[in-house]
Homo-oligomer: A and B are copies of this chain.
Amino acid sequence: MSVTPSSKQAANLGDIARALGVSVATVSNALSGKGRVSASLVPRIREMADAMGYVPSQAARALRTGKSGVLGLVLPDIASPLFPQIAQAIERAANTAGYGILIADSRGDVTLQTEAINRLIERGVDGLIIVPRRGTRIASVDIPFAVIDSPSTPGNTVSADHWQGGALVGAHLSALGHRKITLIGNNPASNVQNDRIGGIRSSLSGKAEVEVLWIERHEAEHGTGSLLGLAEKVKTGTTAFAAVSDVHALRAMTELHRTNIRVPEEATVIGFDDLFWGSVITPALTSVRMDMPRIADIAITSIAEKIDGKRDKPTDDNARVPMSLVIRQSCGPAPTTAF
């Protein structure tokens, strides 16, 4: 029974069965631990499988069972911030649950999103995790899927509790004594951004003055990359800037610096999502972060349940996962200038 490791050419169940003089059914059972196989046979089969470098054929298994063991992940733009974090967490959770992840980038386009979904389905995925492009409703997808967006999105499966995250910001700024605050958003059509802004507003002390600066709107009027006029805001009493994303917080911080306003001494800046460079800049950025591992876990669990048909245990629909505040140096007490 000499095994030539050099001829490690794709041994299959049949080869193992032949080498051991048993049937493929028995080998299959022994390896999967399902059917009843005599205790003495199991280790022998296992060893032989190892020795022959057996790697089960996913294709055959998939064809037979009707399950590929692969999930599709549809992202609006893999390369833009936050989505990589999602991808990483999903990949991790999926692996733990025994699934592989096939990715598809919808490039921010609704048509491409539909195409991406179809491509994935044609590749035989068992289910889909979709982070929809803003304003998209997922049309009829006839395989199990989970949506990660915002609690305000119809059909959402799980997401961070953006409103609660906003409340964290509002409370933090209030506690620091800020009474005139400029919120920085990008696009008023975004559910996520509106939730965050709503949350901030909800927990700001009653006497606080709030104003929202929408970047896309500003740029439409003043040109792409134009200054946001933050120095003027400071001169008219704003002491804190709360952005709906660290990207905008970074923009705000560099603009303030550039216009000779010190952060946090003269103005506080706070962001969202805790992007990786937040701790690298000076001063480091205070931010609110999502619990990605937990969100990914819920999404994967939800899909796995749907795939396995466990409709008894109702899927956690529209689950809201709490966000947490990461305090760094970019926030300080409101300067008590006379106004």
Interface residues, chain A, CB within 8 Å of chain B?
8, 55-60, 62-63, 68-70, 77-81, 83-85, 87-88, 91-92, 95, 100-105, 119-124, 142, 225, 227, 247, 250-251, 253-255, 257-258, 276-277, 279-284
Residues of B within 8 A of A83 (CB): 84
State which of B68, B69, B257, B281 has its C-beta within 8 Å of the C-beta of A250. Answer: B281
Instruction: Indicate if the CB atoms of B276 and A80 lie closer than 8 Å.
Output: yes
Contact in complex: A79, B276 (CB < 8 Å) = yes
Q: What are 29 sample pairs from A and B whose C-beta atoms fall under 8 A apart? A: A8-B142, A57-B63, A58-B123, A58-B124, A59-B59, A59-B60, A59-B62, A59-B63, A63-B63, A69-B123, A79-B84, A79-B88, A80-B276, A83-B84, A87-B103, A88-B105, A91-B105, A101-B102, A102-B103, A103-B103, A225-B279, A225-B280, A247-B280, A250-B281, A253-B254, A254-B254, A254-B281, A254-B283, A257-B257
- Look across to chain B and name the residue whose beta carbon is closest to the beta carbon of A8: B142
Q: Tell me which residues across on chain B come within 8 A of A79, comparing CB atoms.
A: 84-85, 87-88, 276
Q: Which residue of B lies closest to A257 (CB)?
A: B257
A84's partner among B69, B84, B122 (CB-CB below 8 A) is B84
Residue of A78, A142, A281 contacting most chain B CB atoms (<10 Å):
A78
Q: From the candidates B70, B122, B254, name the one contacting A102 in the complex (CB within 8 A).
A: B70
Residues in B with CB closer than 8 Å to A119 are 95, 100
Distance, CA A63 to CA B124, complexed state (A): 13
Quickly give the copy total for this chain.
2
Measured between alpha carbons, how far is A95 from B120 in the docked complex, in Å?
Answer: 11
- Give the nearest-CB partner of A259 in chain B: B282
Q: Smallest distance from the beta carbon of A173 to chain B beta carbons, Å?
A: 22
With both beta carbons as reference points, the residue of chain B lying nearest to A251 in the complex is identified as B280
A274 to chain B, nearest CB (A): 11
CA gap between A332 and B123 in the complex, in Å: 51
Residues from chain B with a CB closer than 8 A to the CB of A101 are 102-103
Contact of B280 with A250 in the complex, beta carbons under 8 Å: yes
* Least CB distance, A134 to chain B, in whole angstroms: 17
**Hey, which chain B residues are within 8 Å of A8, CB to CB?**
142
Q: Which residues of B contact A92 (CB under 8 A)?
A: 105
List chain B residues, Cβ under 8 A from A247: 277, 280
Chain B residues with Cβ below 8 Å from A279 are 225
Q: Are B225 and A284 in contact (CB under 8 A)?
A: yes
- Across-interface contacts of A258 in B (CB, < 8 A): 257, 282-283
Q: How far is the CA of A15 from the CA of B331 in the complex (A)?
A: 66
Contact (Cβ within 8 A) A123 B105: no
Q: Output the least CB separation between A133 and chain B (Å).
A: 15
